[in-house]
Amino acid sequence: MKNITYLLGFIILSFIGCSGTVKSDNHHTQPERISIIRFDKDIYGYIQQPDSEKEKSLREKYPLLLPAFGQIAMKTNEPATFFPVLKEYFANQSLLKVYKDALAKYEDVSVYEEKLTKVNDLIEENFEGKKLPRLAMHVSGFRANVIIVDNLISLSIDKYMGSDYPAYLEFFQPYERMQMQPEDIVKDYIKAWLMSDIIKTNADRQNLLTAMVNEGKILYALSILLPDEDPNNLIGYTSEQTAWCKDNEKSIWQTIVKENYLYSTDHMLITRLINDAASTSVVSPQSPGRIGAWMGWQIVNQYARKKGFLVEDILSMDAQTILKGAKYNP
């Protein structure tokens, strides 16, 4: 999914089995219940019956999320024109249809709240002093998938309508639609939290190894926090794509090493190996996208198996230490 973009003080994120040492002190008090804030419903209520009282209420209830949403959805957060532009934006009938479909599909989100509550309990066990921030939902009109403001993460639920949703066909490639399923919601909340609060990166200063291992750390942490999730779903692969990676793991690694890619700081090369795509063409046209992320996952997994450190410690280690300790050489 999805790279991090810093914008006006908030963040927009456009987001296999493993082992390691997991904390468990069996303290299990009643878990803190996670409730998703329905910003999407509040905005829709205003669109249906706009008035000045609702405008005042929205500004007071969402002092940071409202302008962030305006910036990414309508490209404006000017107070004087915000609500007129909002009404005009969602006056588009096609967009309004998407909004209604999204609200209907996610009228009840209790199943996601229950899963996130379990995840939050695991976070508190494995990350000292950490827990999930407040979580919300919005409808952006197929724009920013994730908005992060101070202690709040919001997902755009119109990006989780299922790969066969008719309106997606014009805008998204098949490999993108694979990760636009309802089952990706919890994963994407957790991934956004990890990227913003735990595994912070500096894209301008990283080489390919750093980028690969950072992606591997995210996937490793997801596998710990979502232990019942199909590993293929964590990276957005089909079982056939994972099988291809396993069958070709040695040759992929040899290509990266022999072509002197590993310590390259070439942003375009890193993007081609890390980002979502139909394939990772610099490796093979038959490969799935994100080969670099998959390789990073294998490196981190191997390090975890060999060293047995706590999850929190592994995520704080530098990429060179992890590569050396893993002795990765498929």
Mean pLDDT, the chain cut into blocks of 10 residues (330 residues total) = 36 42 49 92 97 96 95 88 94 95 98 97 94 96 90 96 95 94 97 92 83 97 96 96 97 95 96 95 93 98 91 94 94
Q: Which two tokens stand for residue 225?
A: 């926090």
Distance separating alpha carbons of residues 253 and 250, to the nearest angstrom: 5
113-141 pLDDT, tens per residue? Answer: 999 999 999 999 999 999 999 999 999 99
pTM of the model: 0.89
Cβ 100 vs Cβ 106: under 8 Å:
no
Predicted confidence at residue 153, as pLDDT, reads 97
Predicted confidence at residue 29, as pLDDT, reads 57
Cβ 38 vs Cβ 137: under 8 Å:
yes
Q: Which two tokens stand for residue 152?
A: 């709040």
Backbone CA torsion sign across 162, 168, 169, 171: negative
- Nearest alpha carbon to residue 136 among 119, 116, 120: 116
Domain layout of the chain by residue ranges: 4-198, 208-326
What's CA 69's distance to the chain center, in Å?
17
DSSP state of 229: S
Strands (DSSP E) along 188-272, which ranges? none
Q: What is the percentage of the chain residues whose pLDDT exceeds 70?
A: 90
Predicted confidence at residue 10, as pLDDT, reads 40
Predicted confidence at residue 26, as pLDDT, reads 44
Q: Which two tokens stand for residue 175?
A: 């490999």
Alpha-carbon distance values, 221 to 74, 201, 261 (Å): 34, 16, 25
Predicted confidence at residue 14, as pLDDT, reads 43
What's CA 25's distance to the chain center, in Å?
29
- Those residues whose C-beta lies under 8 Å from the C-beta of residue 235, and which sit 6 or more positions away, are 219, 242, 290, 293, 294, 297
